[in-house]
Amino acid sequence: MGYRENPRPGGRSARVQAAVHQSVRDMLATMDRADVTIPLIAQRANVTPSTIYRRWGDLQQLLADVAASHLQPEGEPASIGSAREDLEAWVEQYADEMASGVGRQMLRDVLAAADSANAEKCGTYTRYQLAVFIARAEKCGEPFPTLTDLMDHVISPIIYRILFDQAPGSDYVRRLVAKVMPESAAGA
Amino acid sequence: MGYRENPRPGGRSARVQAAVHQSVRDMLATMDRADVTIPLIAQRANVTPSTIYRRWGDLQQLLADVAASHLQPEGEPASIGSAREDLEAWVEQYADEMASGVGRQMLRDVLAAADSANAEKCGTYTRYQLAVFIARAEKCGEPFPTLTDLMDHVISPIIYRILFDQAPGSDYVRRLVAKVMPESAAGA
DNA sequence: TTCACTAACGCAAATTATTTGCTTTTATAC
DNA sequence: GTATAAAAGCAAATAATTTGCGTTAGTGAA
Through-space separation of residue A109 CA and nucleotide C25 C1' in angstroms: 33
Helices of type H across B80-153: 83-99, 101-112, 117-140, 147-150
* CA–CA dist A163, B159 (Å, integer): 10
* CA–CA dist A89, B174 (Å, integer): 31
- Comparing B7 with A80, the larger pLDDT belongs to A80
> Is A3 a domain residue?
no
* CA–CA dist B76, B18 (Å, integer): 24
Report the 10 Å Cβ neighbour count for A83. 20
B31 shares a domain with B112? no
B171 shares a domain with B82? yes
A24 shares a domain with A84? no
> Is B187 a domain residue?
no
The pLDDT mean for chain B works out to: 94
* CA–CA dist B166, A10 (Å, integer): 35
A85 shares a domain with A45? no
| C-alpha dist (Å) from residue A173 to A88, A93, A167, B160 | 8, 10, 10, 17
B99 shares a domain with B173? yes
> Is B7 a domain residue?
no
* CA–CA dist A13, A7 (Å, integer): 6
* CA–CA dist B148, A116 (Å, integer): 29
> Is B1 a domain residue?
no
Q: Which residue of A has its CA nearest to B167?
A: A120
Q: Which residues contact B159 (CB under 8 A, 6 or more apart)?
A: A156, A160, A163, A164, B98, B107
B81 shares a domain with B42? no
Cβ of A176 and B122 within 8 Å?
A: no
B117 shares a domain with B31? no
Cβ of B60 and A112 within 8 Å?
A: yes
- What is the pLDDT at residue A39? 98
* Reported confidence tier of residue B184, pLDDT bands at 50, 70, 90: low
B75 shares a domain with B49? no
* CA–CA dist B64, B109 (Å, integer): 5
Q: What is the dihedral of CA A56, A58, A64, A70, to 10 degrees?
A: 60
Q: Which residues contact A32 (CB under 8 A, 6 or more apart)?
A: none
Considering only CB atoms, which chain A residues are within 8 Å of B120?
164-165
B125 shares a domain with B162? yes
How many contiguous H segments (helices) and E segments (strands) does chain B have?
10, 0
* CA–CA dist B14, B7 (Å, integer): 6
| DSSP single-letter state for residue A6 | S
Cβ of B120 and A164 within 8 Å?
A: yes
> Is B98 a domain residue?
yes
Q: Kindly write down the DSSP assignment for every residue of A11-51, as one continuous string.
A: SHHHHHHHHHHHHHHHHHHHS-GGG--HHHHHHHHTS-HHH
> Is A28 a domain residue?
yes
- What is the pLDDT at residue A188? 40
Q: Which residues contact A86 (CB under 8 A, 6 or more apart)?
A: A77, A78, A79, A80, A133, A136
> Is A167 a domain residue?
yes
Q: Which of B35, B57, B79 is the last residue of a domain?
A: B57
- The mean per-residue pLDDT over the stretch B26-52 comes to 97
A50 shares a domain with A97? no
Through-space separation of residue B42 CA and nucleotide C3 C1' in angstroms: 34
Nearest to A83, CA basis, from A168, A158, A175, A150? A150
* Reported confidence tier of residue B99, pLDDT bands at 50, 70, 90: very high
Residues B31, B45 contacting (CB under 8 angstroms)? no
A104 shares a domain with A17? no
- What is the pLDDT at residue A112? 96
- What is the pLDDT at residue A187? 43
* CA–CA dist A113, B34 (Å, integer): 11
Q: Which nucleotide is nearest to B38 (CA to C1')?
A: D16
Report the 10 Å Cβ neighbour count for B95. 26
Q: Which residues contact B122 (CB under 8 A, 6 or more apart)?
A: A164, B68, B71, B107, B110
Through-space separation of residue A51 CA and nucleotide C23 C1' in angstroms: 15
Please give the tally of structural domains in chain A.
2
- What is the pLDDT at residue A2? 61
Cβ of A112 and B114 within 8 Å?
A: no
- The mean per-residue pLDDT over the stretch B95-117 comes to 96
- pLDDT over threshold 70, residue B186: no
Helices of type H across chain A: 12-30, 38-45, 49-56, 59-71, 83-99, 101-112, 117-140, 147-150, 156-164, 170-180
| DSSP single-letter state for residue B31 | S
- CATH number for position B150: 1.10.357.10
B168 shares a domain with B111? yes
Nearest to B51, CA basis, from B36, B65, B41, B60? B41
- CATH number for position B43: 1.10.10.60
Residue range of the domain that includes B28: 12-57
> Is A22 a domain residue?
yes
In angstroms, the separation between the Cα of residue A11 and the nearest Cα of chain B is 32
One digit per residue, the tens of pLDDT, for chain A of length 188 reads: 467 677 777 789 999 999 999 999 999 999 999 999 999 999 999 999 999 999 999 999 999 999 999 999 999 999 999 999 999 999 999 999 999 999 999 999 999 999 999 999 999 999 999 999 999 999 999 999 999 999 999 999 999 999 999 999 999 999 999 999 997 544 44
- The mean per-residue pLDDT over the stretch B158-162 comes to 98
